[in-house]
Structure 1
Amino acid sequence: MPRTTPGQYIRQVRQEMAKVTWPSRKETTISTTMVFVMVFLAALFFLFVDFVLAEGVQFIFGLGV
C-alpha cells in the first residue's frame, strides 16, 4: 500500500469535507428539542416504573404498614 504524504492527506480530507451536508439551524433546533422531549418522557417513564416497583416490594415484604 503506497504511503500518503501529508499534503495528499490534507487534500483528501478537504475533498471528503466538501461532500458533507451539514444540517441547517432549523434542523439542529428541531433535533435538539426532540432529544430533550424524549429524555423527559423517558425520565417520567422510569420514575413511574421505579415507583410501582418500590410500592410492590413494600407490599410484598409488608414494609408499607
Structure 2
Amino acid sequence: MAKVSPGEFVNQVRTEASKIVWPTGRETIMTGVMVVIMTTMLGLFFFGIDTFFGAIVQWLLSLAAGRA
C-alpha cells in the first residue's frame, strides 16, 4: 500500500466526501414512513401467524389430553 502524506490524505477525503449525495428532507421522511408501515405490517403478519399456530398447538394438546 502506498504511503500518503497527511495533507494528501485530507485532500483525498475531501474529494471523496464531495461525491456524497445526501437525501433531501422529504426523501428522509418518506423513507422513515415506509419503514414504519412495513414494520407494522410485518408485525401484524407474524402476530397472526403466531396466533394461528398457537391455536393449532393448543387444539392438538387438548386433543392429546382428552385421549390420555
TM-score greater than 0.5 by the shorter chain: yes
Aligned length: 63
Residue of structure 2 in register with 1:9 after alignment: 9
Distance in 2 between the 1:46 and 1:25 partners? 32
Deviations 1:16-46 (A, max 9, x none): 1101111000000000000010010010001
Give the CA RMSD over aligned residues: 1.2
Greater radius of gyration (CA): 2
Residue of structure 2 in register with 1:31 after alignment: 31
- Structure 2, unaligned stretches of length 5 or more? 64-68
- With normalisation by structure 1, the TM-score equals 0.89
SS for the counterpart of 1:20 is coil
CA shift, 1:2, in A, is 2.0
- With normalisation by structure 2, the TM-score equals 0.86
Identity fraction in percent: 35
Higher RCO (Cα < 8 Å, 6 or more apart): 1
